[in-house]
């Protein structure tokens, strides 16, 4: 899922300075699962923004709404209504959702209330770990289902590096070495031979090196669908 963290309240207050009527919109998708952007968080942020302590003058009028996914343009256009007189929308969505809302509601300002952080997974309650960077050229087949681009601090394609400290990364003793994990897992699977294969130089274009990516639905057996 896409993981995000709510911005500091001081930054949010500064971003809505000058607006008199704010619509706080939660997103019911990824960021609601990581407890940073759902309806509950939108309600909590709304209450905080109404506190006079944050303002030199009177606080703005704040109302709350929630939508299933802010990253689908047709969904926003078909079902999302902005109350009359709204000066700006404060979005509790990831960066993709904020930009989609801005496209749908143009010229109404859409302001982010979250910092989008990474694609992650939950391994224990309340903790999410980065697992994927959306590189567009997945190599998990050859690395035992562990992504070295996301989980190696240097994004090495061949490791471990000389800085490995036992089982940990030289960046921090709290970071496990992704390549040690890859080797150990492939060993348990009797697939260490996957590391000895020769692969073509990595094509970074599907990961965004050729500009913003577009995917078109092609179905099983079709082309990649990316341009």
Are 145 and 217 within one domain? yes
In this structure, how many other beta carbons lie within 10 angstroms of the beta carbon of residue 47?
A: 12
Q: What is the DSSP letter of 23?
A: E
Are 9 and 110 within one domain? yes
What is the domain extent for residue 182?
Answer: 137-227
Q: Is residue 123 part of a domain?
A: no
Q: Is residue 223 part of a domain?
A: yes
Largest CA distance in the chain: 68
Q: Number of structural domains, the chain? A: 2
Q: Is residue 132 part of a domain?
A: no
Are 143 and 94 within one domain? no
Q: Is residue 126 part of a domain?
A: no
Backbone φ/ψ region at 164: left (φ over 0), alpha (ψ -120 to 50), beta: beta
Q: Is residue 145 part of a domain?
A: yes
Closest CA to 59 of 103, 94, 9, 99: 9
Are 188 and 108 within one domain? no
Are 219 and 190 within one domain? yes
Are 155 and 211 within one domain? yes
- Per-residue pLDDT tens listing for the chain (227 residues): 899 999 999 999 999 999 999 999 999 999 999 899 999 999 999 999 999 999 998 999 999 999 999 999 999 988 888 999 999 999 999 999 999 999 999 999 999 999 999 999 988 888 889 999 888 888 898 999 999 999 999 999 989 999 998 899 999 999 999 999 999 999 999 999 999 888 788 787 877 777 887 777 666 555 445 45
Are 114 and 7 within one domain? yes
Are 35 and 88 within one domain? yes
HSE-up of 139 (CA within 13 Å, CB side)? 25
Rounded Cα gap, residues 191 and 145, in angstroms:
12
Q: Is residue 16 part of a domain?
A: yes
**Would the pTM count as exceeding 0.75?**
yes
Q: What is the CA radius of gyration of the chain?
A: 22
Q: What is the DSSP letter of 81?
A: -
- Phi first, then psi, for residue 176 (nearest 5°) are -70, 145
Rounded Cα gap, residues 25 and 41, in angstroms:
10
CATH assignment at residue 28: 3.40.50.2300
């Amino acid at each position: 899922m896409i993981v995000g963290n709510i911005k500091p309240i001081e930054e949010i207050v500064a971003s809505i300075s000058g607006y008199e009527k704010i619509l706080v919109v939660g997103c019911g998708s990824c960021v609601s699962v990581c407890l940073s952007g759902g309806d509950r968080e939108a309600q909590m942020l709304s209450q905080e923004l109404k506190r006079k302590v944050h303002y030199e003058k009177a606080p703005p009028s704040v109302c709350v709404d929630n939508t299933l996914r802010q990253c689908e343009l047709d969904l926003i256009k078909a079902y999302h209504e902005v109350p009359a007189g709204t000066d700006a929308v404060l979005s509790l969505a990831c960066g993709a959702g904020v930009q989609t809302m801005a496209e749908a509601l143009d010229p109404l300002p859409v302001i982010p209330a979250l910092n989008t952080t990474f694609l992650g997974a939950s391994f224990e309650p309340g903790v999410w770990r980065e697992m994927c960077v959306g590189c567009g050229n997945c190599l998990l087949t050859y690395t035992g289902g562990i992504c070295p681009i996301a989980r190696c601090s240097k994004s090495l394609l061949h490791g471990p590096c000389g800085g490995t400290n036992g089982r940990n990364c030289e960046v921090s003793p709290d970071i496990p070495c992704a390549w040690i994990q890859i080797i150990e897992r492939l060993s348990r699977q009797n697939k260490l031979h996957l590391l000895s294969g020769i692969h073509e130089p990595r094509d970074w274009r599907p990961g965004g090196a050729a500009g913003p990516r577009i995917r078109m639905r092609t179905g099983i057996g079709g082309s990649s669908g990316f341009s």
